[in-house]
Amino acid sequence: MASYSPGQRIEARCTRCRDITGHIIVVVLDGEVAKVECCACGSVHKYYPAENKARPVKERPLRVQSGQERGEAVLNRSSARTRVELAAASGAGTGTVPRPAKLSRAEQQSVKLREELEHQWQEAMARNPGMPKPYAMDGAFALGSLVEHPSFGVGMVLSVTPPDRIDVLFREGIKALRCRC
């Protein structure tokens, strides 16, 4: 057992940061850490050990659907549990039934935007089957021409802003590049 004293540094779960961070011990009672101060956010709170103890999984209540007998529902649940246990034993999974990941609204919008950009890029490449011109900062590029950039790949010029800027649609998005217009 380690002996603690105020002023020592210790790892703990921070209630404000919601993460395991470095803390300074503030209060020790009977050899046990009682209060700590977070080095990241400065909050003083009760000590919570850094280990994350897994909560026991509670079994959901059995739901019997209309028109179904209770015995039938119990058999369905046990057969589903058996399939999960077999999958876990064979190494196919972690022992839980896989669920599709739910995306946040921001992630859904980001995916939609990426898909739209990819679609626009595909259309632009289909409309301009010509050879792309290698990108150079001292080069001149016309609206709608193809440009080959060493990092971004092939793209199409969307707009020309004199004296020294073009917006180019690449596969990963629209990039502003310097040029001689």
Helix (H, G, I), strand (E, B) or coil at 115: helix
Helix (H, G, I), strand (E, B) or coil at 150: coil
Rounded CA gap, 38 and 21, in Å?
A: 7
44, 26 Cβ separation under 8 angstroms:
yes
Specify the residue for token string 């626009």.
120
Torsion angle defined by CA atoms of residues 111, 112, 114 and 118, in that order, rounded to the nearest 10 degrees: 130
Per residue in 36-74, pLDDT tens? 999 989 999 999 888 755 666 677 777 777 777 777 777
Rounded CA gap, 93 and 109, in Å?
A: 30
* Closest-CA residue to 42 (of 77, 17, 63, 9): 17
Per residue in 87-131, pLDDT tens? 555 555 554 555 556 777 888 888 888 888 888 888 888 888 788
- Supply the pTM of this predicted model: 0.42
Tabulate helix, strand, coil % of the chain (nearest 5): 25, 30, 45
